[in-house]
A and B are shown apart, each in its own frame.
Chain A
Amino acid sequence: MKTFNIWYISSFVISLIVIIPVITVFSSYFESTSDYFELLKNTFLFEYISNSLILLSGVLILTLVIGVSTAYIVSFYSFPLSNFFKWSLILGFAVPPYIYAYSLTAFFENYGTAYTILKNLFGESNYNLFIPKFDGMIGAILSISFSIYAYVYILTRASFYFQSDNLIELGKNLGFTKIQSLFKIIIPSARPAIVAGLSLVAMETLSDFGAVDFFSVNTLTTAIYNSWLSFDDLAFSNQLSFYLLIFIFSLFIIENFSRRKAKYHSPLQGGFKVKKKIKLSGFKSFLAFFICFIILFFSFIFPISQMLYWTFLYPKNFFDLNIQSLIVNTLLLVSLSSIILIFFSFISNYGNRVNKSKFLNFLTTISISGYALPGVILAVAYITFIAWFDNTIINYFEIQSIKKIFIGSILGLVLAYFVRFYSLSCNGIKSSYEKLNNTLDESAYLAGYSKFKTFTNIHIPYLKSSIFFVIILISLEVIRELPITLILRPFNFETFATTAYIYASQDLLEAAAVPSLFLVLIASLFILIISRYILKEDNE
């Protein structure tokens, strides 16, 4: 009884749900692919892989430079608005890569916004040939980088922030200049954090669908999607997924490992004092301000302005959009996913806590791997699995088909979100749950509190703020999420993300501006609410 209790069953079910898409991908790895695709395989496979690698290196370099430099500036120096930049630099998160891509195109395309500005400033002339065209690969790199550099920024900044003053003083003591200290002491000691940030960036980049699809850059992810859609070659699509997943899983492991390493940097209670920032003045102060402003401008102000401009230029789109129903839909998805994710995260975390079993821990580790699965692959695998299940198992028992319940339903959508975002919520709860020492539970038992009462009176109040934080994080991810929603959503059901995508894919970028704007504004609001947690400075 003890070894096979409710916690095992539930943790097992959770990990099973998460692992199904992965198994689906891997199981069809050895199936033969169609002859027709043989040609494409030979001509394009190399292109897909090299495109993915180019995209990845571009984004990694750009996010590294942007993330680390801004983190360094705001951590060590004080200059006008430096406190404002500290949190506003994470606003880029609010703009998903595909929406950034729309703005980028709208601004720089022939006869785009840049042309309008130049024409209004300098009069009629053909400026088109002089305006750089940020499309294709470059466009994709820029869109993704400005949207997700904040991963590097946040983690690096946290590492800088908690770096002991001793390190910097040590540098001074050794006679290093500021630049030498930066490269020889500060950055190397923040390396685990930087690597963790970059791994997240790499995972997001490889699983990005919206931006690369918009710019028609054929990466492994779009190739998986296309070979599944256009050529019905699920086996080939799954083979590509197999390679991609192996790559992503290794990043996932690197990330987890580096995170753990990065933890060593955070000091024990009381062992940390707020660092004095160096006050800049004159040109240096302006330079620091300028760099931060440029990044904030490109990551947030620029796309927002472009969308606002369009909304004002074509107000009809604003009034035509059924904003009310989009908000209701978004709220529905957000609340259902949050409730289910939090509920199961608690089951799994609490189960781990009271059971202390290695096997349970292993199941939990499996369950968080869903995040490594790109949304597109997840959705494809989900449908494949349900169809297979329906065709073989359900048909065999001759019962009602379950496809309608699981495909094109809110349930299906929420299930897929569950797989994708479970690691987010489970880890979010876990990280603060683990800080709640086990002896606290025992103290409560000894004070006469039952397990259930301990859970409701001690755990829940303690975890209140992390539950809130996780809910906001889930909401943020759900409203930004595109490919899963796109593939699995029910009839007459749109979110801001799908509306923007559908308009954009119909060459109606100006109509995509309104839902994009709403999406970004809601996301910004969420980010503002949790910026305190993200930039945690009280080390709690």
Chain B
Amino acid sequence: MIIIIICIENNNQLQDKINDSFNFKGEKMRLLSLIAIMFSLLFGPAFADGHGVVNVYSARHYDSDVQLYEKFTAKTGIKVNVVSGKSGAIEKRIIEEGGGTADLYITADAGRLGAFKAKGMLQNGLTSEAIKSAVPKNFRTSSWVGIAKRARIVYFAPERVSGAELAGLTYESLADPKWKGRLVIRKSNNIYNQSLVASLIKNNGKKATAEWAEGVVSNMARTPKGNDRAQIMAVAAGEADIAVANTYYLALMLSGKKGAEQQEAAKKVKPFFPNQDDRGTHMNISGAGLVKGAPNKANAIALVEFLLSKEAQEHIVNNTFEYPMIAGVSPHELVVNMGLDFKQDLKTKVVNYGKNQADAVAAMTGAGWK
């Protein structure tokens, strides 16, 4: 574009010709102003720097998040710029931009944050007292912290699964042949599954987990497909007896936000929290990471601190049905109803999810887990 315009300017011969045969003066001015307008439109939004801003790259895009950012801006005067998308694309863009633009990376799953940290794309700095005191140690590192919690649990159809069958159910026992043809779970490329399996590798080792994966695959009622909610509905619809899915999905369905049918379907399944007799139920987080080379580091930390405030936590739990990260905030009523007094796995640090991710993928794909 620029080159062409320069060429037009410099090509006197052409211009002479044009001027000779046609009174071009008026046209030329109009053309130039048009080009000027186009340039301002093209380049205008490219420079989004400034003092009162924080650039958030978010893999979560709930309308409720936008409202939360608006509250933050109202409070601090810091404008929140958001670019959202799927986590992979967001991460890639941060990497290729090579720092200097992104401040904060917000995504679901510690596995993603850990892997991103491992690529050297996050920096230390989320170490303020406010953060440290708000977030339990196993849900944070110095470069990323959890904002909200979720558990990956088992859902069952009470009509077809007895209490005796369920008793003492662990993630490990999902490989038990008694569940043959009765289990539904997502694909192996799903990050929630990868983190769950990573935690199993941390606790049981690679070899045992690889065998476990084979057992799970042979128990599957169908080739993995659909999201977590689809797994729950498959149990409700009778396609399977048990499903593995995150906690907030059931609450979401029960809330009626997904329509009367799904509300009714949700009532046909019950949640079960595995591994109560040993390390506890697998926990994961939605979190924020401080991006390396963040131009607005202080603002980014301020935003994280705000997200961990009581006001923000209440907003999050009531909209996304996750568990709060800080003490003193109650989850949504529907989540409370699912049971709060379960044992959380606080032993396996979430930072391991990222570390063992590659082995987890290898274990699952090796077992033919689609």
Contact = CB atoms under 8 A, between A and B. Distances in A.
Direct contact, A vs B (beta carbon within 8 Å):
yes
Contacts of B96: 383-384, 386-387, 403, 407
Given A216-B189, A232-B119, A410-B45, A111 B265 contact: yes
Interface in B159-179: none
A6 B7 CA distance: 7
B234 A487 contact: no
Contact of A6 (B11, B24, B81, B85): B11
Interface string A401-417: 10111011111001000
Nearest to B61: A502
Contacts of B45: 409-410, 490-491, 493
A450 B21 contact: yes
A66 B257 CA distance: 38
Contact of B14 (A6, A13, A383): A6
A10 interface: yes
A506 B86 CA distance: 9
A129 interface: yes
B137 interface: no
Given A336-B41, A404-B46, A407-B93, A128 B11 contact: no
Interface string B78-113: 000111111011011101111011000000000000
A428 B261 CA distance: 49
Given A109-B230, A313-B259, A491-B45, A336 B238 contact: no
Interface string A439-450: 000000000001
A278 to B, nearest CB: 46
B48 A490 contact: yes
B41 A502 contact: no
B237 A490 contact: no
A481 B11 CA distance: 37
A230 interface: yes
Interface string B247-260: 00100000001111
B20 interface: yes
Given A492-B83, A506-B62, A410 B38 contact: no
Given A36-B358, A129-B239, A507 B38 contact: no
B225 A336 contact: no
Most buried by B among A111, A136, A450, A490: A111
Most buried by A among B13, B18, B86: B86
Contacts of B262: 111
Instruction: For chain A, give the interface size range.
Output: 35 or more
A287 B27 CA distance: 59
A510 B41 CA distance: 33
Given A453-B21, A486-B89, A128 B46 contact: no
Nearest to B92: A229
Contacts of A232: 95, 119
Contacts of A505: 86
Contacts of B61: 502-503, 506
Given A6-B11, A135-B225, A128 B101 contact: no
Contacts of B44: 410
Contact of A10 (B7, B82, B93, B189): B7
A256 interface: no
A506 B59 CA distance: 9
Interface string B47-83: 1100000010000111100000000000000000111
B228 to A, nearest CB: 8
A405 B43 contact: yes
B226 A320 contact: no
A107 B18 CA distance: 61
A399 interface: no
A339 interface: yes
A65 interface: no
A228 interface: yes
A216 B225 contact: yes
Contacts of B201: none
Contacts of A340: 1, 38
A410 B82 contact: no
B83 A408 contact: yes
| Chief secondary structure at chain A's binding surface | helix
Contacts of B91: 229
Most buried by B among A129, A383, A387, A452: A452
A404 B365 CA distance: 39
A347 interface: yes
Given A109-B233, A216-B189, A332-B41, A407 B88 contact: no
A407 B47 CA distance: 11
B29 interface: no
Nearest to A229: B88
Contacts of B84: 502
B17 interface: yes
Nearest to A321: B63
B46 A409 contact: yes
Interface residues of B, number: 73
A347 B14 CA distance: 14
B55 A491 contact: yes
Given A6-B7, A492-B83, A502-B61, A111 B46 contact: no
Interface in B343-368: 358, 362, 365
Contacts of B20: 450
Interface in A1-47: 1, 5-6, 9-10, 13, 36, 39-40, 43-44
A229 B59 CA distance: 14
Contact of A111 (B21, B93, B119, B237): B237
B233 A216 contact: no
A408 B82 CA distance: 11
Interface string B214-257: 00000000010111111001101111000000000100000001
B258 A510 contact: yes
A29 B105 CA distance: 31
A300 interface: no
B82 to A, nearest CB: 6
A391 interface: yes
B239 A128 contact: yes
Nearest to B84: A502
A451 interface: yes
A491 B89 contact: no
B156 to A, nearest CB: 16
A324 B165 CA distance: 55
A109 B232 CA distance: 12
Given A39-B365, A115-B261, A408 B226 contact: no
A164 interface: no
A451 B237 contact: no
Nearest to A448: B21
Nearest to B53: A491
A126 B21 CA distance: 80
Interface in A104-144: 109-112, 115-116, 119, 126, 128-129, 135-136
A405 B46 contact: yes
Contacts of A490: 45-46, 48, 83
A128 B18 contact: no
A128 B20 CA distance: 77
Contact of B7 (A9, A119, A387, A507): A9
Given A110-B237, A126-B238, A491 B83 contact: yes
A489 interface: yes
15 contacts: A5-B11, A110-B237, A111-B237, A111-B261, A111-B264, A111-B265, A116-B259, A216-B187, A226-B189, A229-B88, A336-B42, A410-B44, A452-B18, A490-B83, A491-B48
Given A110-B265, A493-B45, A505-B86, 6 more contacts: A110-B230, A111-B233, A116-B261, A126-B237, A215-B225, A232-B119
Interface of A: 1, 5-6, 9-10, 13, 36, 39-40, 43-44, 109-112, 115-116, 119, 126, 128-129, 135-136, 215-216, 225-226, 228-230, 232, 313-314, 320, 332, 336, 339-340, 347, 383-384, 386-387, 390-391, 401, 403-405, 407-411, 414, 450-453, 456, 486-487, 489-493, 498, 502-503, 505-508, 510-511
5 shortest A-B CB distances, which residue pairs? Answer: A450-B21, A128-B237, A229-B88, A409-B46, A491-B81
